[in-house]
Amino acid sequence: MEAQFVNPFLTSLINVLQTMAQLEIQPEKPHLKKSEIAKGDVSGLIGMVGPQTKGSFSVTFDEDMALEIMQRMLGERSESIDEEVTDMVGEITNMVTGGAKRILSEKGFEFEMATPVVVSGKGHTINHKSDGPVIIMPFKSPHGTAFIEICFDH
């Protein structure tokens, strides 16, 4: 999978968090996920189906970062990852994938999005099961860390 498929998701996450939560995040280098184990506390996942390919996208936050985004977006802080936080992560997942979809569509790469699913649980791991390589991109902010993973068949 080439950078042209990955960068739209990266750009889109940066834009969404900047616009919705006035949160600046620093992307680290995207790389192939091999034996690496990346853990997080709340993740949004979404399936993608297109004429050329299918795949999956996930965005994972540690608890501190999810609660900080929530506070910045809604002006109130949850004590823990409750339904309001998972709703927000589902929305972010939709927005990031929708943003990437628009950019990729202009390049002739089309897909439709399924509905998002949000996973909540301390230190869980996400395993994309497709034929293609999984690209992982970590992000840092003063309020915690996040990462996205993208995978397309072939």
**Nearest distance, CB of residue 47 and a copy of itself, angstroms:** 2
Select 22 or 59, whichever has its Cβ closest to a copy of itself.
Answer: 59
Select 22 or 39, whichever has its Cβ closest to a copy of itself.
Answer: 39
Select 12 or 58, whichever has its Cβ closest to a copy of itself.
Answer: 58
**Nearest distance, CB of residue 75 and a copy of itself, angstroms:** 22
C-alpha atoms less than 13 angstroms from C-alpha of 105 in its C-beta half-sphere:
12
Select 103 or 114, whichever has its Cβ closest to a copy of itself.
Answer: 114
**Nearest distance, CB of residue 126 and a copy of itself, angstroms:** 6
**Nearest distance, CB of residue 26 and a copy of itself, angstroms:** 26
**Nearest distance, CB of residue 24 and a copy of itself, angstroms:** 26
**DSSP letter for each residue of 14-74:** HHHHHHHH----EE---EE-SS---EEEEEEEEEEE-SS-EEEEEEEE-HHHHHHHHHHHH
CB-based contacts of 89, cutoff 8 Å, min separation 6: 42, 43, 44, 59, 61, 66, 118
Query: 26 — phi, psi (to 5°)?
Result: -100, 115
Q: Which residues bind a copy of itself (CB under 8 A)?
A: 39, 43-49, 54-56, 58, 83, 86-87, 90-91, 93-94, 112-131, 151, 153
Query: 117 — phi, psi (to 5°)?
Result: -125, 135
Select 98 or 142, whichever has its Cβ closest to a copy of itself.
Answer: 98
